[in-house]
Amino acid sequence: MADILKKDQFILPEGVVYLDGNSLGPMPKTVPQRMQGVVTDEWAQLLIGGWNKAGWMEMPARVGDSVGRLIGAPKGSVVMGDTLSIKVYQALASGVKLRPDRRVILSDTGNFPSDLYIAEGLVGLLGQGYELRTVAPEDVAEAISDDIAVVMLTEVDYRTGRKHDMKTITEMAHAAGAVMVWDLAHSAGALPVDLAASNCEFAVGCTYKYLNSGPGGPAFIYVRPDLADRVEPALAGWLGHARPFDFDLNYTPGAGIERMRVGTPPVLQLAALEESMKLWEDVDMNDLRAASIALQEQFIAEVEAAVPALTLASPRDATVRGSQVSFRFEHGYAAMQAVIARGVVGDFRAPDIMRFGFTPLYIDTADVTKAVGIIADVMNNDLWDDDQYKVRARVT
């Protein structure tokens, strides 16, 4: 297994073990200089000319190709922009339009709530008997029937890290005549993904987690190349028009993936992401996956040996687990706050999940051992049982 550790290329607070890159990735060291250049050399000096002279207008496609390399997407099939919620809506609405004779969107109860809210909103807008049907994650395969228009799933569960089998489920969806939409929020940059081999119609994902684009960083959308010139984006934005600067009053879709652009590109955060993507140029995703699993297995073994109060919530089988490990504890919020106060940063997901992410670009075996020692101290000595740790912050 190749050594892929790049800890010296990230800005990490002294003494902190950061096990929350699955929620917000840390900043690569070269990002501030890149952003400073965009601000002072491009925005300040070029003003509006930056759209042409600095290549701002091409950034969504250019950066999309960089992300596409990590998720097995052909060049020209991924575009950046907007938020993940917007991209979920685009993919879902476009998928429904591809199956006008069907009325059911299928998802699972382990999906990220925002995806389900978006589906609920779309169903309410469409009326006409449309429905969102949700089943337990383990029941998805049995629930794929010939009345399903779209199957919409997140590959890796945000709470437990449970991982769906992308290729198998996509094949089942297609056998039933349904369109497949994958959310890769906890997959892109965390494990090998091969969208082309999966044959799914759509995929979406965010970049502020494992890809380190910064808080609120732009999302991406993938459309299978054979569909790119005929999908109908429900959110038909100005920059998805074939000729935006003709200022036509009626929408004419752009060519291929360009039609999935909506609003003005977030240039500063795209610049941060483009800079971050340079770290991935020599990373083999299979090596990264192997390193991630090794760290997770070490963490599980050491926690279970040292902290009997915690119960594993993630799948024990690493092949069906993403790049995070979750444990259950009745007072998980307070316990996590106590752990964070002592320099090990994870997060809490209701009702009782203590969640830890493993990103081998900047986490090593020594970090794991240090983290377990602190977690054990907090748990075994009831250090979490202090009022200061029980006050819920807005972000958990």
Please identify which of the residues 10, 89, 202, 208 carries the catalytic annotation: 208
Identify the three-state secondary structure at position 365: helix
Longest dimension (CA), the chain: 68
Please identify which of the residues 87, 162, 209, 259 carries the catalytic annotation: 209
Of the CA atoms within 13 Å of residue 215, those in its CB half-sphere come to 1
126: closest CA among 98, 82, 95, 93?
Answer: 93
112 in catalytic set: yes
Interacting residues of 298 by C-beta distance below 8 A, sequence separation 6+: 365, 368, 369
Beta strands in the chain (DSSP E): 10-11, 17-18, 27-28, 78-80, 104-108, 131-135, 148-154, 179-183, 202-205, 220-223, 311-312, 324-328, 344-345, 347-349, 353-357
11: Cα separation from own chain's centroid: 21
209 in catalytic set: yes
Please identify which of the residues 224, 261, 349, 355 carries the catalytic annotation: 355
208 in catalytic set: yes
Please identify which of the residues 10, 89, 112, 220 carries the catalytic annotation: 112
Give CA–CA dist 334/36, Å, rounded.
39
Please identify which of the residues 20, 183, 352, 367 carries the catalytic annotation: 183
Among all residues, which ones are annotated catalytic?
A: 112, 183, 208-209, 355
